[in-house]
Structure 1
Amino acid sequence: MMNRKLKSNTLVLVMLLLVTAIRSHAQPKKILIVSTNRDSVGTNVSGTFLKEIAYPFQYFTDKGFEVDIVTPKGGKAAIYSTGEVPDVLRSIRQSTLFMAKTSATLKPDEVTASKYAAVFYPGGHGQYFDVISDERIARLTATIYENGGTIGTAGHGVASLIDVKLSSGKYLIDGKRITCFPHWAELAWMNISSYGKLLPFDMQEVLARRGANLVVSTKETASDKALTLVADHPNRLVTGSFASSAPWVAEQMVSIISRSESPSETVQILRAVNNYAEGRNSGNIDRMKQAFHAGAVLKAIDEKTKDIVTTPIADYIARNKPGQKHDCSTDVRLLDYTATTAIARVTFTYTTHAYHDNLILLKVKDQWLITEKVYSKTVFQNQ
C-alpha cells in the first residue's frame, strides 16, 4: 500500500491553503487558457472548438482579467468551428485582441505560473495529441493550482487534466468532484473522432482510474444540469460536460477567484482542522483544544459490541500526552461546506496502520469549530 511508504509529518494541503490565504490579497489578475496546435484527427479538421475558447476568453476579458493563451509549440492555435457561427461568436473571433492572442500563443517555457489566478482548458479533440502529453503544461497547471489558483474546463477539455500531478505526487483530480464529456456521447455524436475510434483512450474511464469523483449523465439525463455542470468550490475546480457548458464554467471560475480575494471560508475552516491535526502530531495540547467546541464528541464503532461509542472530546484530548510527537504522514481534505456547516477528513498514516477522522464543523459565533469527530482504524496487511 502506497500510504505505508509515506513518512513526512507535514500537512501539505492545509499549509498550502493557509499560504494561499496569506497571498490572497495579491491574487494575480491573469488567466491562462490552454489550446492546441493539432488541427486534425485522422483526416477530420479539429483543434480547439471555437465556442469553447471564445466565450470564456471574452468573459474573462470583460471581467478585467488579462488572458494569455499557451500551446505546446506556441504560435498559431488550431481553432475550428462547425455549422453556422452566431454573430456574437463571429464578433469575438474577429476582434483584434482575440486574433492577436490566438495567432501568437505562448510556449510553455514563456509562461510564469505565479502571474496567473486560473487555468482554463477549452474542449475539442486536438489536445488529445499534444497538450495531454506535454509535461510542461501539466507542471504549469499544477503550480498555478498549488499557488491557490482555480482550474476550469469544459467538454473534451477535461481530458487534459488526466496526467496533471501535484507536488505530493497525487493526481490533481484525485478525490475531486468533476464531470466530463460522456463516453456514450462520444460513441453517438463525435464523427470527428470516428466515434471514439481515433482517440488514444476513453476519457471517462481514465478519469475514474485517476481517482476522480466522477459525475456523468446518461443519454436520458443529459439535460440535467446537476450532472453536467459541476463546481467543486472547496477544491477550486469547475467542469462542464459539453461545449455549451463553457460560458458557465468561466462564470463559476471568476466567482471562485473573487471569493479568494477576501478571507476565505475554506481557509478559516482548515485553520480549525489544522489546529487539531498539527496540535495532535506535535503534542501541543492547547492548540488541539482550540480546534474543538467545548461540547464536541468523539464517535466510533466498538470492536466487540459493534455499537456506537460516544466519548466527550475532553476525555480524548486528556489521553494525549503534552510534547508527544507522532511519526506519521497526514492528509487533510475539506469535503464540503455551507454557510455554517463543514465536513473535513484527516488521515494519519503510520507504518502499520492508519486512523481516518471524519470531522463535522459548525460556525459558532463566527468561529469554525469541530463539534464531532468520527473515526475508524485500518490495519495494514503484511506485504
Structure 2
Amino acid sequence: MKELKQYKLILKMLLPLWLVFTFATSSNAKGINDNEVKGKVLIIISSDQHGFWLPEVVEPYKLLEQAEFEIDIASPKGGKGIASGSSRLSGKDSNWFKQSSLPEKLEQSIELKQVISRQYRAVYFAGGAGPMFDLVENQEAQRVTREIYENGGIISADCHGPAALINVKLSDGSRLISGRKLTAKANIEEGRWAKNNYPFLLEDKIVSLGGIYTSAAKGKEHVIVDGRLITGQNPASAAPMTKALILHLTPKEKHPAYEIQNSLSKVTVI
C-alpha cells in the first residue's frame, strides 16, 4: 500500500512536466510549419505597348511575399513589359519596390508558353490598359488559367485584369465566368480614351457573356469572392483582393499580423 501511494505521488509530480513537454514540442512543430513557404503564386502582366498598372503588381506582390509565398511574374512575350502608374505608388511602397526583388522579375518575366501550371496554387492578373489588347484572346493565358483552376487552384484578377478571364473555357466547354459573380473596371470608371480605344468595356462584355457583374461606387474598394474566383474592381481593390486571396490560400490564424479578416469589409463572399 505504501509503495502504491509513492507511485501515485511520483505520477502526480511527473504529469505536469509531461504536459509542458508535449505542449512545447507541438508548439515548436507549429512554428516550423508557419515558417515554411506556402507555395507559388503566378502574377501575369501585359506585354502590350499600353502597359500594365504597376501599383496593381507592387501591392499584391508585397503582400504575398510577406505571407511567405513564392511569386513568379509572367507575360505573353516574356521579358520586360511597360509599367505605368509608378507615380501612384505611395512613398512607402515606392521605397519597398526599389529594394525588393520585384524590379528584376519584371525585367525578366517568364514567357507564358513556358509556364508550367501545376507549379502554382493561384494565378493573379494585374490590370492596366494592356490586358484589354493582349490578354483577351491569348491562348496561353487561357491555358494557364484553365489548368490552374482545374487543378484546384484559385483564379484572381483586378481592374482590367479580368479581361484575361472572359474567354477562358474549361475542359467541359463551359465558360469560366458564366453564371459566376465577379467584378472588374466599371463603366463609370472608364475615361474618354478607354471608351474610344478599347475593343469593349469590361462591364458590358462580362454581362453579355453570362457573368454576373457587380460594382461599387467609382473608385471605391470592391472585391467579389465566388468560390475559387476572386476579382477586384479597380486599383483601390488590389490590396483587399490580395488579402482575400491569401485568406483562401492560408488559414488566417497563421498570419494575424496582417489583420486580414478586419480589412475585408469591402469583400463580398458568395
TM-score normalised by structure 1 residue count: 0.54
Alignment of 1:303-382 (within 5 A): none
| C-alpha deviation, 1:223, in angstroms | 7.0
Alignment of 1:209-220 (within 5 A): 209-217=208-216
Report the equivalent of 1:6.
none
**Partner Cα distance (2:223, 2:148) in 1:** 23
Report the equivalent of 1:67.
71
Report the equivalent of 2:56.
52
**Partner Cα distance (1:96, 1:85) in 2:** 14
Of the three residues 244, 249, 269, the one matched with 2:236 is 244
Report the equivalent of 2:92.
88
**Partner Cα distance (2:80, 2:127) in 1:** 17
Of the three residues 12, 15, 30, the one matched with 2:40 is 30
Q: CA 1:85/1:210 → structure 2, altered by over 3 Å: closer, same or farther?
A: same
**Partner Cα distance (1:77, 1:28) in 2:** 27
Q: Secondary structure at the match of 1:142?
A: helix
Report the equivalent of 1:332.
none
Q: Secondary structure at the match of 1:33?
A: strand
Matched AA of 1:251? K
1:114 aligns with 2:118: yes
**Partner Cα distance (1:39, 1:54) in 2:** 19
1:22-54, CA deviations, whole angstroms, 9 ceiling, x for partnerless residues? xxxxx97000011011133xxxxxx11111011
1:133 aligns with 2:137: yes
**Partner Cα distance (1:124, 1:224) in 2:** 17
Alignment of 1:197-346 (within 5 A): 197-217=196-216, 221-222=217-218, 228-232=222-226, 235-258=227-250
Q: Secondary structure at the match of 2:195?
A: coil
Please list every run of 5 or more consecutive structure 1 residues that lacks an aligned counterpart in the other structure: 1-26, 41-46, 260-335, 338-383
Q: Secondary structure at the match of 2:110?
A: coil
1:142 aligns with 2:146: yes
Structure with more of its chain in helix, by fraction: 2
* Two-structure CA RMSD over aligned residues (Å): 2.2
Matched AA of 1:52? E
1:124 aligns with 2:128: yes
Report the equivalent of 2:3.
none
Of the three residues 142, 148, 160, the one matched with 1:156 is 160
Please list every run of 5 or more consecutive structure 2 residues that lacks an aligned counterpart in the other structure: 1-36, 252-268
1:46-78, CA deviations, whole angstroms, 9 ceiling, x for partnerless residues? x11111011001111111111111111100022
Aligned residues: 218
**Partner Cα distance (2:138, 2:219) in 1:** 34
Q: Secondary structure at the match of 2:101?
A: helix
Q: CA 1:256/1:135 → structure 2, altered by over 3 Å: closer, same or farther?
A: same
Q: CA 1:94/1:223 → structure 2, altered by over 3 Å: closer, same or farther?
A: closer
Matched AA of 1:158? P
**Partner Cα distance (1:98, 1:82) in 2:** 13
| C-alpha deviation, 1:173, in angstroms | 0.9
| C-alpha deviation, 1:201, in angstroms | 1.2
Matched AA of 1:57? Y
**Partner Cα distance (2:132, 2:219) in 1:** 26
**Partner Cα distance (1:224, 1:137) in 2:** 28
Q: Secondary structure at the match of 1:94?
A: helix
Q: CA 1:49/1:258 → structure 2, altered by over 3 Å: closer, same or farther?
A: same
**Partner Cα distance (1:70, 1:56) in 2:** 15
**Partner Cα distance (1:152, 1:84) in 2:** 22
TM-score normalised by structure 2 residue count: 0.75
| C-alpha deviation, 1:196, in angstroms | 1.4
| C-alpha deviation, 1:224, in angstroms | 6.7
1:276-295, CA deviations, whole angstroms, 9 ceiling, x for partnerless residues? xxxxxxxxxxxxxxxxxxxx
